[in-house]
Amino acid sequence: MWTVVVKRTQIFGLMGNKENQNLLTSYNLGNIARRLLFGILSMGPIPDHIAFIMDGNRRYSKKNKLEEGTGHNLGFTALTSMLKYCYELEVKYITVYAFSIDNFKRRPEEVKSLMELIREKIESLIKEDSIVNQHGVRVYFVGDLKLLDDSVRLAAEKAMEVTAGNSKAVLSICIAYTSTNEIVNAVEQSCVEKWDELDSSTKNSISVMDVEKHMYMRVAPNPDIVVRTSGENRLSNFLLWQSANSILYNPAALWPEIGLRHLVWAVLNFQRNQACLETKKKQQH
């Protein structure tokens, strides 16, 4: 924290006194207003787990006539802000859909560029001053990681190892992931585990609990809220097993445009429907 304060002081010291004061006032007021807002939200139930489908990075670039890849870079900045807000609100679990298995079907040069960008952003997550370390976040990479380039897979494995001791929150990054792949893999693993127990005369030898035990997303509870930006109403093969009782929120904003107001609206919508969701969960059990 002291390092951050010193850096801000050095930056503001280069500006004129009036501009300096205006920036400090704006920064402080913004922080105070956000804390007051979160304090009010905290009077109601806060979701344990929010999942994000980060849709619209490419469309943002086209819409604003930016170079290819710029939207994804700005999307990472948007993700960092969203993580900060969620952790300040004490949401313990965040899951993001970073790269689908289907995305490998895109142009080879685009896939290569995205893989390089993903590796770069993974490496930035474990820097000392990263948001992950500031908030004590454990990072998991969820999906069929053997499909990744070696450099990306090794970076992901290192990030998981380095953050293994963090326990305040969990960030799950779905990469080389689809829900159908996750389910098939979980069923296959369940079959392998119970092969010796299987009998042609035995029915229902593999239970829901057996399958869930082998899910990639076993590292987090089912999401309370699934947010998909760009106004799309599809889950696009994301957490299909886990989202049966999730609140779905589909703001029209493209992912780089997502902001605090979208998170607040999603949480308010969750709070309004939370009692009904709890009733449904109890009925299922």
CA distances 253 to 111, 232, 257, 258, Å, are 24, 10, 6, 6
Q: How far apart are the first and last CA of the chain?
A: 45
* Alpha carbon distance 243, 239 (integer Å): 6
Is 52:239 a contact under the CB 8 Å cutoff? no
**149 flagged as catalytic:** no
| Distance (Å, whole) CA 98 – CA 37 | 29
**Sequential DSSP letters for 142-209:** ES-GGGS-HHHHHHHHHHHHHTTT--SEEEEEEEEE-HHHHHHHHHHHHHHHTGGG--TT--S-S-HH
> What whole-number distance in Å separates Cα of residue 92 and Cα of residue 107?
36
Rounded CA-CA distance 72/256 in Å is 8
- The DSSP element (H or E) to which 50 belongs, if any, is strand 49-53
Find where tokens 């990306």 sit: 152
**Cβ-count burial of 12 within 10 angstroms (0-12 exposed, 13-18 middle, 19+ buried)?**
middle
Catalytic, out of 55, 102, 129, 150: 55
Annotated active-site positions, please?
55
